[in-house]
């Protein structure tokens, strides 16, 4: 890892780590009366450990120029391993909080494990830890191959990977200490947000430079999606997190916005986080790994362009559907609702592209669990975007809002679409990256697929039932015109569904653990075939699906 760096790159890496350590030391000094001081210690430690890690191999011989004849994949490899670690942790915490809703005593009476603190640990770990690392890993992989250009240098990608994971670590440890700005999916406080801005700008530059030096005349559509993801997340993150800290030595800050403007900014951010973090980036993944794995080009490249611009320009306006029946002006609510409905067009263009690309290769979908992960992801993408457009209609929202239906919708997207396309892409790319003929155990990939699918279906059906029951109970009146059910009645009605949800989540978690084990073993066990073509992914040859006796 370090031996790949040239001497000057090793020196740059040490200087950057030293700067991080100095920042940590300053945070310890000014934040000593606050939880921020603990974060300072964490940052300081991260900087120092990195310096020692580089120091270990500092005098290793310089790499030969032969390295320039290959793509630079080490950061992608590390990010995939980190993604799987975050996946296991995030899913485990998610299932824990699901069981807490079944049995509230499962907090064990300490502050850090209360539902309100563990829930953001779950969402941040799975969305930013798992999803974010998978996006960084695959984006750098796809970028280099589709541009036929190597990453510009060997330090900045490492800064992105490790810097981003430091952000995730500061975020989740902060929640457990009670540090939060109480904005959903934007919980980290001001100094953690500032750190992410630095990391993200570097990520964008790392992405732009190989594109500028690309050999292909046309920028492949995956790169459009990945770039929209990086650029828009930067804009969203900076605007929504404009805040003034009470002092430089305190974690607490106050938002620059107040009242309904604050709510609107937050859900402009929140829904576009869904759009550009959880959709655009993963569509970029899909448009590369699905054709590669299926061994056939995308069905309609034109449709992918139309859906790209549709998603980019429609999603921006959809956020206000989170604020139906609030103080937000009625016309802004209607605007959000209308754009949410129009979103169905670009969303289904992409979902249709998935299925039509696979049309004619269903034998491969049947035989190959990796490709099946991607196919199911496309189906769930289509279902979830239909459901989302429907739920954004004001009158439907009056039933669904604040109920578990929303939780079911989110997980249909997060488990069914995001996690499935990610696992599919990771299973495709791990053998390519580590030069293996195939995954350590295709049977375990198959097991993971069925565990993930069963878990998702159980989860989503439980939450649909629970949500609609809950919504109906909240709006049932008796003859005298008062509410027929007390709040506690609805909790009793939801209890069986909460057990089902936690069981579904457990299946998904077991699947994630099986996947992590399989990936680890693929990395650890050397392949029988060692001379696989160096950097080129191995697309399945068109029409090579092995015929079986029955055919």
Partner 1 sequence: MIVEHALLVGISKSFGLFYLIALSVAVVIYAMWPSNKKRFDDAAQSIFRDEAGPWR
Backbone angles phi, psi at 243, to 5 degrees: -155, 160
- Residue 549 engages partner 1 in binding (rule: CB under 8 A): no
Q: Candidates 176, 306, 472, 516: give the one binding partner 1 (CB under 8 A).
A: 306
> By three-state DSSP, how is residue 401 classified?
coil
| 302 part of the interface to partner 1, by CB under 8 A | yes
Of 234 and 540, the one with the shorter C-beta distance to partner 1 is 540
Among 68, 110, 212, 549, binds partner 1 (CB under 8 A): 68
- Candidates 112, 301, 402, 477; binder of partner 1 (CB under 8 A) is 301
| CA-based nearest residue to 508, from 13, 49, 93 | 93
310 belongs to the binding site for partner 1 (CB under 8 A): yes
In whole angstroms, how close is the CB of 301 to partner 1 at the nearest point? 4
Question: Of residues 420-459, which lie at the interface with partner 1 (CB under 8 A)?
Answer: none
Query: Closer CB to partner 1, residue 291 or residue 504?
Result: 291
Exposure class string for 248-261: b at 16+ Cβ within 10 A, else e: ebbbbbebebeeee
Give, as one character, the DSSP assignment of residue 66: G
Smallest distance from the beta carbon of 150 to partner 1, in angstroms? Answer: 4
Least Å distance, CB 67 to partner 1, is 10
Q: Burial, 66: exposed, middle or buried (Cβ in 10 Å; 0-12, 13-18, 19+)?
A: exposed
Residues ≥6 apart with Cβ < 8 Å to 489: 473
Nearest to 188 by CA among 171, 209, 204, 213: 171
Of residues 270 and 291, the one with the C-beta less far from partner 1: 291
Q: How many residues bind partner 1 (CB under 8 A)?
A: 37
Residue 366's Cβ-side half-sphere holds a number of Cα atoms within 13 Å equal to: 9
Q: Which of 49, 305, 483, 484 binds partner 1 (CB under 8 A)?
A: 305
Segment 385-404, which members bind partner 1 (CB under 8 A)? none
CA distance 187 to 121: 10
Element of type H or E holding 361:
none
Helices (H), 213-258: 221-240
Q: Nearest distance from residue 179's CB to partner 1, in Å? A: 34
Question: Is 77 near partner 1 (CB under 8 A)?
Answer: no
Nearest-angstrom CA–CA distance, 519 and 503: 24
3 state SS of 477: strand
Q: How far is CA 317 from the centre of its chain?
A: 22
Binding piece for partner 1, criterion CB under 8 A, among 94-102, 284-292, 437-445, 524-532 = 284-292
Here the tokens at position 139 are: 């984006």
Which tokens sit at 209? 């430079």
Instruction: Name which of residues 312 to 341 contact partner 1 (CB under 8 A).
Output: 313, 329, 331, 335
Residue 281 makes contact with partner 1 by CB under 8 A: no
Give me the least distance between CB of 535 and partner 1, in Å please. Answer: 5
Cβ closer to partner 1: 165 or 272?
Answer: 272
Residue 496 in contact with partner 1, rule: CB under 8 A: no
Return the residues of window 507-536 that contact partner 1 according to CB under 8 A.
533-536
Judged by CB under 8 A, does residue 110 bind partner 1?
no
Between 204 and 243, how does the x/- string for binding to partner 1 read (CB under 8 A)?
A: ---------x-xx-x-xx----------------------
Minimal distance in Å, beta carbon 287 to partner 1? 9
- Are 343 and 280 in contact, with CB atoms under 8 Å apart? no
Question: In degrees, to the nearest 5, what angle opens at C-alpha 218 toward C-alphas 216 and 222?
Answer: 100
* CB closer to partner 1, 302 vs 366: 302
Q: Give me the least distance between CB of 295 and partner 1, in Å please.
A: 8
Distance CA 490, CA 497 (A): 12
List, in order, residues 6 or more apart from 217 with CB less than 8 Å away.
none
Q: Where are the alpha helices (DSSP H) in 57-155?
A: 74-102, 115-123, 133-147
Q: Does 291 engage in binding with partner 1 (CB under 8 A)?
A: yes
> What is the footprint of partner 1 within residues 119-158 (CB under 8 A)?
144-146, 148-150
For residue 149, the minimal CB distance to partner 1 (Å) is 5
Q: Distance between the two ends of the chain, CA-based, in angstroms?
A: 48
Which of 136, 298, 374, 506 binds partner 1 (CB under 8 A)? It is 298
Site residues (vs partner 1, CB under 8 A):
68-71, 144-146, 148-150, 213, 215-216, 218, 220-221, 288, 291-292, 297-298, 301-303, 305-306, 309-310, 313, 329, 331, 335, 533-536, 539
């Amino acid at each position: 890892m370090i031996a790949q760096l040239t001497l000057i790159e090793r020196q740059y890496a040490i200087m950057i780590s030293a700067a991080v350590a100095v920042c940590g030391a300053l945070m310890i000094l000014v934040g000593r009366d606050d939880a921020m001081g603990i974060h300072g210690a964490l940052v300081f430690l991260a900087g120092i450990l990195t310096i020692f890690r580089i120091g270990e191999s500092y005098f290793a011989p310089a790499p030969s120029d032969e390295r320039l004849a290959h793509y630079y994949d080490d950061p992608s490899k590390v990010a995939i391993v980190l993604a799987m670690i975050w996946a296991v942790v995030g899913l485990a915490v998610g299932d824990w909080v699901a069981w807490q809703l079944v049995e509230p005593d499962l907090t064990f009476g300490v502050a850090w494990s209360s539902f309100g603190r563990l829930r953001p640990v779950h969402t941040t770990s799975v969305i930013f830890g798992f999803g974010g690392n998978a996006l960084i890993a695959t984006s750098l992989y796809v970028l280099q191959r589709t541009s036929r250009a190597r990453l510009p240098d060997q330090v900045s990608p490492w800064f992105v990977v490790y810097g981003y994971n430091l952000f995730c670590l500061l975020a989740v440890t902060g929640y457990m200490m009670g540090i939060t700005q109480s904005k959903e999916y934007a919980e980290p406080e001001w100094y953690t947000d500032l750190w992410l801005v630095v990391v993200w700008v570097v990520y964008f530059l790392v992405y732009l430079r190989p594109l500028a030096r690309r050999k292909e005349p046309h920028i492949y559509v995956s790169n459009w999606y990945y770039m929209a993801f990086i650029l828009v997340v930067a804009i969203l993150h900076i605007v929504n997190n404009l805040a003034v800290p009470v002092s430089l030595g305190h974690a607490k800050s106050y938002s620059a916005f107040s009242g309904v403007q604050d709510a609107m900014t937050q859900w402009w951010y929140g829904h576009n986080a869904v759009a550009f973090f959880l959709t655009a980036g993963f569509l970029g993944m899909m448009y590369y790994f699905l054709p590669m794995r299926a061994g056939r080009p995308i069905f309609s490249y034109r449709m992918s362009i139309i859906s790209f611009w549709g998603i980019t320009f429609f999603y921006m306006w959809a956020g206000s559907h989170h604020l139906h029946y609030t103080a937000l002006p009625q016309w802004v609510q209607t605007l959000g609702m209308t754009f949410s409905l129009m979103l169905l067009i670009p969303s289904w263009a992409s979902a249709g592209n998935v299925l039509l690309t696979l049309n004619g290769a269903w034998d491969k979908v049947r035989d190959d669990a990796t490709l099946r992960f991607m196919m199911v992801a496309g189906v769930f993408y289509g279902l979830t975007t239909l459901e989302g457009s429907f739920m954004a209609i004001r009158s439907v929202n009056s039933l669904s809002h604040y109920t578990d239906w929303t939780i079911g919708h989110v997980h249909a997207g997060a488990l069914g679409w995001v996690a499935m396309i990610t696992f599919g892409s990771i299973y495709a790319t791990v053998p390519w990256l580590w030069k293996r003929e195939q995954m350590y155990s295709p049977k375990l990939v198959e097991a993971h697929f069925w565990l993930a699918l069963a878990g998702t279906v159980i989860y989503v059906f439980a939450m649909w039932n629970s949500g609609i029951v809950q919504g109906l109970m909240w709006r049932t009146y008796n003859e005298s015109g008062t509410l027929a059910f007390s709040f506690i009645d609805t909790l009793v009605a939801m209890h069986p569904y909460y057990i089902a949800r936690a069981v579904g989540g457990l299946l998904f978690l077991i699947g994630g653990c099986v996947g992590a084990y399989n990936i680890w073993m693929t990395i650890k066990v050397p392949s029988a075939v060692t001379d696989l073509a160096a950097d080129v992914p191995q697309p399945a040859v068109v029409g090579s699906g092995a015929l079986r006796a029955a055919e």
